[in-house]
A = this chain, B = another copy of it.
Amino acid sequence: MNTEQLLQALRWRYATKVFDPNRKIPAETWSAMEETLVLSASSFGLQPYRFIVVDDPALRQQLMPHAWNQRQVVDASHFVVFAARTSVTEADIDGWIDRIAEVRGMPRDSLAQYRSMMTGMLLTPEFQPQAVHWAARQAYLALGNLMTAAAVLGIDTCPIEGFVPAEFDRLLGLPEQGYTSVVCCALGYRSADDKYATLPKVRRPKEELIRHV
């Protein structure tokens, strides 16, 4: 892909207000979308999030009123809730060290320095109240990755912050697992009726947004 094709895809992207409820993302393409989430970068590699793909139409109907009744929740082909970890525990870190040792075939001891870097930063009393913010940022990075990957493949997206996290958490059973919903993304294909698709994109001027020093 060259720069012009990339920019074309990013200019084509917009926060889709009306999805075509009859068009579904093919299974193979959706699988690639999930893979982009898995491949997303995160702080220390810890992936302090879970991605909840809501397949059940009845559950989507239950979520919609808690998302300002935005129809993207039910009309889009796929709907993902980004759930951030609300705290970091020693077990999280040890589980991650185990995973690295397993995948890379390394002795656990060789990761001792890496482990103590993580525990020294993430298990302090000062960090704990910040943990959910830290985790949410990583989830947003994954959201940016997903939206750009989708645009490159010609899939429409709508990031959704307008929802009631407490209600989503309750309906998805997140708190008991140590997670909270921070943002959502609907994915699918725009409807021909979406008047927002053709509005000029508005951004601050480049020279205001980007400063060279």
Contacts and interface: CB of A to CB of B under 8 A. Distances in A.
Contacts of A199: 104
A213 B161 contact: no
A56 interface: yes
A3 B15 contact: no
Contact of A148 (B2, B43, B104, B144): B144
Interface residues of A, number: 70
A213 B100 CA distance: 28
18 contacts: A1-B1, A1-B152, A6-B36, A6-B152, A34-B206, A37-B210, A39-B201, A39-B203, A41-B147, A54-B213, A59-B213, A99-B204, A136-B137, A137-B183, A141-B143, A141-B147, A148-B149, A148-B152
A158 B10 CA distance: 22
Contacts of A209: 37-38, 47, 49-51
> What's the number of copies of this chain in the assembled complex?
2
A32 interface: yes
Interface string A38-79: 111101010101111111100100000000000000000000
Interface of A: 1-3, 5-7, 10-11, 13, 15, 28-29, 32, 34-41, 43, 45, 47, 49-56, 59, 99-100, 103-104, 133, 136-138, 140-149, 152-153, 159, 161, 172, 182-183, 199-204, 206, 209-213
